[in-house]
Amino acid sequence: MPEWWTYTLSDLQSFSLETYYRLFARYNAAIWPGPLVAVGAGTAVGLLLRPRGNGRRARLVAGILAACWLWVAIAFHATHYATIHRAAVYFAWAFGLEALLLVVAGVLAGRFTLERRGAARWLGLALFVFALLVHPFVGMLFGREWRQVEIFGIAPDPTAVGTLGILLLTAARRRWVLMAVPVLWCAFSGATLLAMESPAGWVMIAAAALALVGSGLKS
C-alpha cells in the first residue's frame, strides 16, 4: 500500500471535470428559481455596501451572507456535492460554521463597520463585483454551459470570493477568524480544479491571495 503522503487530489477524486460541471446543472435545476433569488440577494448586498448609515446596513449584509453560507452548506454540500464527493459532509460543517460566525460577529455583536476609504476597500469591492457579476461567466470561458454556472449566494466558489471581498470592506475585529473558512475553501477549490486540469483553479487561488494581501494592508 503506497504511503499516504504520496497521494494527490487527483488520486482522491472519484469524478471528472465533466461530472463536476453536470452537478451544477442538476443543482441549479433542482433549486429553480433559486438562481434568480440569489442574483437578487447579491444585488441587495451590493446596494447595502454604501458606508453611510452603516450600523443597520452592516447587520443586514452579515445576515444575508450567513443565510447564503448556510444554504450552500445544506442545499449544495450536504445534498448534492455529497453524491460525488465523500468529504462533502465536512465541507457542509465548515460552511455552517462560517454562517454561525457571521451571525455572531455581524448580526448579534454588530462588529461589522463598513469603511469609506482605503486601498483595501477598493480591492474588496473588486472581489465582490467579480464574484457577483464576472465569476458566472468565467466558467463558460473554460467549457461550462450556461446551465452549469455558479452564482453568488448558492454556489460555494463565488460565495467564498464575494464574502472575502465584503470582509475587506469592514473594520470588524478579528477579521482573520471570519476569513479563515473562505480562504481555505478558495485554496481547496482552486487545487481541486487544477487537479482536474481546469485553469479556473487559478482564479480561486488568486482571489484568496488578493484577499490576504488586502487584509494585510488593513492591518
pLDDT for 115 equals 64
pLDDT at 92: 96
3-state secondary structure 41-109: HHHHHHHHCCCCCHHHHHHHHHHHHHHHHHHHHHHHHHCCHHHCCCCHHHHHHHHHHHHHHHHHHHHHC
Question: Is residue 6 included in any domain, yes or no?
Answer: no
- pLDDT tens string, the chain, 219 residues long: the values are 444 344 355 544 567 888 889 999 999 999 999 999 999 999 998 888 876 656 778 888 889 999 999 999 999 999 999 999 888 999 999 999 999 999 998 777 766 766 656 777 888 899 999 999 999 888 788 778 888 899 999 999 999 999 999 998 886 567 788 999 999 999 999 999 998 888 889 999 999 999 998 887 665
Res 100: pLDDT? 95
Q: Is residue 7 part of a domain?
A: no
- Print the domain residue range for 180: 14-218
Cell of 34: 433559486
Q: What is the pLDDT of residue 47?
A: 86
Q: Is-contact 113 170, C-beta < 8 A? A: yes
The pLDDT value recorded for residue 31 is: 95
Q: Which helix (DSSP H) or strand (DSSP E) does residue 181 occupy?
A: helix 175-195
Q: What is the pLDDT of residue 53?
A: 53
pLDDT of the residue at 216? 76
Q: What pTM did the predictor assign?
A: 0.89
Does residue 106 fall inside a structural domain?
yes
pLDDT of the residue at 13: 59
Whether 8 is covered by a domain: the verdict is no
Cβ contact 162:131 at 8 Å: yes
Q: What is the pLDDT of residue 11?
A: 46
Could you tell me the three cell numbers for 187? 485554496
pLDDT on residue 65 = 95
Task: Classify residue 5 as exposed, middle or buried by CB count within 10 Å of its CB (0-12, 13-18, 19+).
Answer: exposed
Total domains in the fold of the chain? 1
Q: Look at residues 212, 122, 203 and name the one whose alpha carbon lies nearest to residue 164.
A: 212
Q: How far apart are CA 190 and CA 178, in angstroms?
A: 20
Look at the chain and count its residues. 219
In a domain, 3, yes or no: no
For 31, phi then psi, to 5°, come to -105, 10
